Amino acid sequence: MAAYWLGCRYSMQQVAGDRRQLHSMPRYYGYYVALWTALPAVFLLLLWRFLDQGLIVSMVAAELPDIIRNLPVAELHLYLNDVLNLAKGNITSADVDATMQAAADHFKHLQALSDMSLLASLIGMVVAGAALALRQINPEFRSRPRVETLVRWMLAISASIAILTTLGIVLSVLFEAIRFFQMVPVADFLFGLHWSPQVAMREDQVGASGAFGFVPLLAGTMLVALIAMTVAVPIGLMSAIYLAEFAGAHLRTWAKPLLEILAGIPTVVYGFFAALVVAPLLRDGGSMIGLDVSSESALAAGLVMGIMIIPFVSSLSDDVINAVPQAMRDGSYALGATRAETILRVIVPAALPGIVGGILLAVSRAIGETMIVVMAAGLTANLTANPLESVTTITVQIVTLLVGDQEFDSTKTLAAFALGLALFIVTLLLNVLALHVVKRYREEYE
């Protein structure tokens, strides 16, 4: 702020108050100085914060007695963690002894030193940046183009964050998955028929085979998604057709937003609804007619997920139905077709690619949906096609494997990343396919 003001003032001074002589408007000189002042300092701050902890810890580690330094990596890590906790006044897991106390003091000392030098260099950076920018200012100095180039770069960097995110997802998930596949062969994962991720802690432990077969999870996911789609597709498609072709304008303005409310409800609410309302209902209803329905049946989760997806299907089909040219409808009516016949024989076939694309998007949604299945579906992996039994899905397993404190290297946690990779690939393929189909279709009628 001060730099902005300084820059404005200084530029005006240079031309003795006659702003016509400046190349750019005074405030651009202000922006220029302010950017030069702030950006390097912020950059330094981020860099420092990022590096200093690791650097200090390694310096502390170097000072430790040899006995401790020669510990295995994991234990050394643990020890250093204790030192950190001690220095920050937290509770340590091991007993505090003199060495640890000394190390903690050393850490505190270094930390203080680091903070001091950070402050000093920040101030230096600010002053240097401001001085450098101010010195450049003279009436001929083209500050506006400079500032604009810089802003343009910042905009470009923001735009590439989307790419970085994708890259981040792919890399982080891929790396952990590769580590997982070093422990478990890929073929076992892809074609194994058993999933029980409990790795045996002791040799003689029972029931902890540590099997990582992906097939039952995939089957469970598909079963739930299938149930969801059998609910969502007819209802969503029919309501879209009705609202687009039959309903009056009045009903449409009311019904469409109401249906879209269903899309705005958080999934955790659906999960609650599935687990506490639908599942008991199904179980009681099942026992009344002599069926044995599991309280965590795939049916309950699938039904509720279907309800969630209805607006998704209906709004996407609504778009494509409206995109069918009116001339095609008129032609059909002129031949004497009823509305139903027009819809079934002309509009739906014409809109089919778009509808299929929408359904594919909905399927990818159903596969990636987490909270409903976490709350309403089961945990045990059954390879079954019976919707009344309990199944588990990919997302449920990711959540159960990762929630709770675990060390990061165990096969269990890494398995979650492998599942995440599978999930990402499946949904990505579905999305790309769906977007492609929808795009092709749109071009046809434009």
Residues 232-261 contacting another protein, CB under 8 A: 234-239, 241-243, 245-247, 255, 258-259, 261
Which residue number, 130 or 396, has a Cβ lying nearer to another protein?
A: 396
Which residue number, 67 or 258, has a Cβ lying nearer to another protein?
Answer: 258
Contacts (CB under 8 A) with another protein, residues 282-301: none
Under the criterion CB under 8 A, does residue 420 sit at the interface with another protein? yes
- Contacts of 328-337 with CB under 8 Å at 24 or more apart are none
Binding mask 360-389 for another protein (x = CB under 8 A): -x--xx-xxxxx--xx--------------
User: Quick one: CA torsion of 401, 406, 410, 413, rounded to 10 degrees?
Assistant: 30
CB-wise, 130 or 393, nearer to another protein? 393
Window contacting another protein (CB under 8 A); options: 112-120, 128-136, 327-335, 420-428 = 420-428
Positions in 1-20 near another protein (CB under 8 A)? none
| Stretch near another protein under the rule CB under 8 A, chosen from 89-97, 130-138, 169-177, 206-214 | 169-177
143-183 and 26-63 helices cross at what angle (nearest 10)?
Answer: 30
Q: Quick check: 50 binds another protein (CB under 8 A)?
A: yes
Which two structure tokens, joined as six digits, stand for 59? 């310096």
- Ordered DSSP codes for 333-364: HHTT--HHHHIIIIIHHHHHHHHHHHHHHHHH
The least CB distance from residue 261 to another protein, in Å, is: 6
The token pair at 435 is 């977007």
414 is a site residue for another protein (CB under 8 A): no
CB of 62 to another protein, least distance (A): 20
Q: Which parts of 95-124 interact with another protein (CB under 8 A)?
A: none
Nearer to another protein (CB atom), residue 163 or residue 288: 163
If you compute the radius of gyration of the chain from its CA atoms, what whole number of angstroms results?
32
Candidates 2, 74, 340, 385; binder of another protein (CB under 8 A) is 340
DSSP secondary structure code for residue 22 in this structure: S
User: Of 132 and 171, which has the nearer Cβ to another protein?
Assistant: 171
> Which residue, 70 or 158, is less far from another protein as judged by CB?
158
Give whichever of 133 and 237 is closer to another protein, judged by the CB atom. Answer: 237
- Write the CB contacts of 34 (distance below 8 Å, at least 6 apart in sequence): 1, 3, 4, 7
Which amino acid belongs to residue 247? A
Cα–Cα distance measured from residue 305 to residue 185, given in angstroms and rounded to the nearest whole number:
33
Site for another protein in 148-167 (CB under 8 A): 148, 151-152, 154-156, 158-163, 165-166
Binding status of residue 169 toward another protein by CB under 8 A = yes
Minimum CB–partner distance for residue 35 and another protein (Å) = 14
175 sits near another protein (criterion: CB under 8 A)? yes
435 binds another protein (CB under 8 A): yes
Residues 51-80 that bind another protein (CB under 8 A): 53
Least distance from another protein to the Cβ atom of residue 155, Å: 4
Residues 6+ apart with CB under 8 A from 71: 79
421 CB-near residues (< 8 Å, 6+ apart): 173, 174, 177
Whole-Å CA distances, 357 to 50, 175, 363, 432:
44, 32, 10, 10
Residue 268 backbone dihedrals phi, psi, to 5 degrees:
-65, -30
Q: Smaller CB distance to another protein: residue 276 or 385? A: 276
Site of tokens 């977007």: 435
By CB under 8 A, the residues from 28 to 47 that bind another protein are none
**Of 66, 56, 62, 61, residue with least CA distance to 79:** 61
Q: Which residues between 342 and 361 bind another protein (CB under 8 A)? A: 343-344, 361
Question: Least distance in Å: CB of 15 to another protein?
Answer: 20
Nearest approach in angstroms of CB 289 to another protein is: 21
Residue with smaller CB distance to another protein, 156 or 187: 156
In the complex, the smallest distance separating the C-beta of residue 298 from another protein, rounded to whole angstroms, is 19
DSSP secondary structure of 71-114: S-HHHHHHHHHHHHHHHTT---SSPP-HHHHHHHHHHHHHHHHH
Strand partners, 199: 209
